[in-house]
Amino acid sequence: MAASVGLPSDDLAVQATNDDATSCKRYAVDRGYWKDEFIRYLYRSSEKKSPEISRGYYARVKSIHILVDQFLDRTQQKCQLVTFGAGSDTLHWLLWKRKKLPALHVEVDFPTVTARKSHCIKTRPVLLEALSNPVITMEAIRSDHYVLLPADLRDVKSLGKQLIDAGLDPNLPTLFLAECVLAYVEGAKVNDVIRWTAEHFKTSVFLNYDPINPFDKFGEIMKQNLKSRGCALLGMETCPDSESQVKRYHDNGWEGAWSMDMAEVYARLPRDDVARIERIDFLDERELLDQLLRHYCLSGAHLDSQQLGELCLLPLVYSSERTLQIKDSLQG
């Protein structure tokens, strides 16, 4: 695409990971792991993936959707959602279909990525229908409840201005969501983003899904595979595990924070639905799935200046014992 001219090769390689992720999600949706009638309009092909990959994406999508729902319920949808590195994500349309939209949803990504998404939305009536009073340009969209914003997370000063100019209200409860984004950004610049959100949005939640554990054999192979494609995990080695994820939130102005690897998340998702998806594809050995899940984590933090209560009630998904553990850590 012409919009790609002049971009560093590593930026282009990172952007290509969006296609990889969307292909995996599309295959899992086609197999019935979860429902998403909109993904086929943003990614039309589907290549076979291993059961481990599909179960890993199920855990990622299911847990994040539950957490977003909890936030929307807690705030009665009088809130905002900001998705960093949104790529071809369909969350906005899934929420629209269920009549569960926030007051404003801003999706942020590289201009080349937003340009492709803008074109898809403009040319597919089923996607365009979800937008009220849209103004669509080559790289951006602005509508009553949805904004598609071309921006660079590494320039937080410019990013912050763009978000406020897009209509983001610092006084409304806001959820910031990043999925496999921060690991590709230099650690100091990730800190800038996390600190900026905490400083400007005092009633908010930050959710992050990222790879972890880069120093064992599995992690080294994961890093080498990405490096061979031009994707350096610049932020991963400075925040390599769940403990450092929590520390990073606290160091940058957030109050309560938690993190768990995806093996724990998978083990604590609703068991009836997990049993359903485990019947879809036969899994030869559990060991590879466990390894994969232990090399990704889901973390979160919150600020609650408006005293709404725990904005991000992750433990509601899991066991009562885990609920008490996390609740104690949040209050302590």
Binding-site residues: 60, 85, 152-153, 179
Total count of residues recorded for the chain: 332
The sign of the CA dihedral 48, 51, 56, 61 is positive
Taking CA atoms, 80 is separated from 83, 105, 179, 199, 234, in Å, by 10, 6, 17, 16, 29
Token pair for residue 85?
Answer: 């590195």
Residue among 205, 201, 326 nearest 260 (CA): 326
Q: Give the list of residues 6+ apart from residue 160 with CB closer than 8 angstroms, or none.
A: 196, 200
Residues 6+ apart with CB under 8 A from 54: 24, 27, 28, 31, 33, 277, 280, 281
Give the residue numbers of the binding site for S-adenosyl-L-methionine.
60, 85, 152-153, 179
Two structure tokens written together for 46 = 């589907």
Q: Identify the CA nearest to 200 among candidates 235, 156, 144, 145.
A: 156
Helix (H) or strand (E) run with residue 215 in it: none
CA–CA separation, 267 vs 52, rounded Å? 14
Q: Dig out the tokens for 35 from the structure.
A: 């429902």
Paired tokens of 78:
């009088």
Question: Which of 238, 185, 228 is closest to 11 using CA atoms?
Answer: 185
CA 292 – CA 195 distance, rounded (Å):
30
